């Protein structure tokens, strides 16, 4: 295996996604090509209908392409069954959503332990790890609070902790600051940068906000289901 292959964690090769709506075909991705290196922070931007959400579904193993191939750690996942994709999602990918997607009846601690239950991690180990992750996002004093007792920024930080529960290779952040004010959004971005710079996580973020996108090493602009242009950032902290 070449060094380039070793450095690549995710690759989309000529990926198409065509949805059939009765007699009408809608093309969401038109031969998308994308390579993501291990430890990279990538932003994907584009107007409504550009294919951002579909690309995110492909990267996150939530859907399979109509044509083309998707490689995660050099393994072709584009032809996997739903049960196999679910296993990949659970072990390799952590999700952060705009709507937080926390379970309202569970505490912050219980929300963070949830992904570990599906991986059959023992209860004691789950709790120890969840507490550590909540400390990482500075919510050690709020771990027994339910979502309605937390601010929007705190809920998103719980979601960040939850995304790390199974130590995934890739963090997918879908409009992670979309429901937050600019100050709180900045705090959430600080935590994502910390994961990238200090924990070495690969982060792929979809956003419509150019200022948020500029936190990444690289911005890929999508239009009509393919990459229109690439911008590399020289960020200084």
Number of helical (H) and strand (E) elements in the chain, helices listed first: 8, 10
Q: What is the pLDDT of residue 113?
A: 97
The Cα–Cα gap between 150 and 138 comes to 13
Share of the chain above pLDDT 70, in %: 96
168-210 pLDDT, tens per residue?
989 999 999 988 888 898 999 998 998 899 888 999 999 988 8
Look at the pTM and tell me if it is higher than 0.85: yes
CATH classification code of 3-232: 3.40.50.300
Residue 49 pLDDT > 80: yes
- CA dist., res. 161 & res. 168, Å (int): 12
Residue spans per domain, the chain: 3-232
Q: What is the pLDDT of residues 127-160, one digit of tens each?
A: 999 999 999 999 999 999 999 999 999 999 999 9
Strand-pairing partners, residue 69, are: 13
């Amino acid at each position: 295996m070449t060094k380039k292959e070793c450095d690549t964690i995710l690759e989309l090769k000529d990926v198409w996604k065509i949805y059939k709506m009765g007699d009408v075909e809608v093309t969401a991705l038109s031969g998308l090509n994308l390579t993501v290196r291990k430890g990279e922070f990538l932003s994907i931007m584009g107007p409504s209908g550009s294919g951002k959400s579909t690309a995110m579904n492909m990267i996150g193993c939530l859907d399979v392409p109509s044509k083309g191939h998707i490689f995660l750690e050099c393994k072709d996942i584009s032809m996997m069954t739903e049960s196999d994709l679910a296993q990949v999602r659970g072990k390799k990918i952590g999700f952060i959503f705009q709507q937080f997607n926390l379970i309202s009846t569970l505490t912050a601690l219980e929300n963070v332990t949830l992904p570990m239950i599906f991986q059959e991690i023992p209860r004691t180990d789950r709790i120890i790890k969840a507490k550590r992750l909540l400390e990482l996002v500075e919510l050690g004093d709020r771990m027994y609070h339910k979502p309605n007792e937390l601010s929007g920024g705190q809920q998103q930080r719980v979601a960040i902790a939850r995304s790390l529960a199974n130590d995934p290779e890739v963090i997918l952040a879908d409009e992670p600051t979309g429901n937050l004010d600019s100050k709180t959004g900045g705090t959430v971005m600080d935590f994502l940068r910390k994961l990238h710079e200090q924990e070495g996580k690969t982060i792929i973020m979809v956003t419509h906000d150019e200022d948020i996108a500029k936190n990444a090493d690289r911005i890929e602009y999508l239009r009509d289901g393919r990459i229109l242009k690439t911008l590399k950032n020289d960020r200084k902290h």
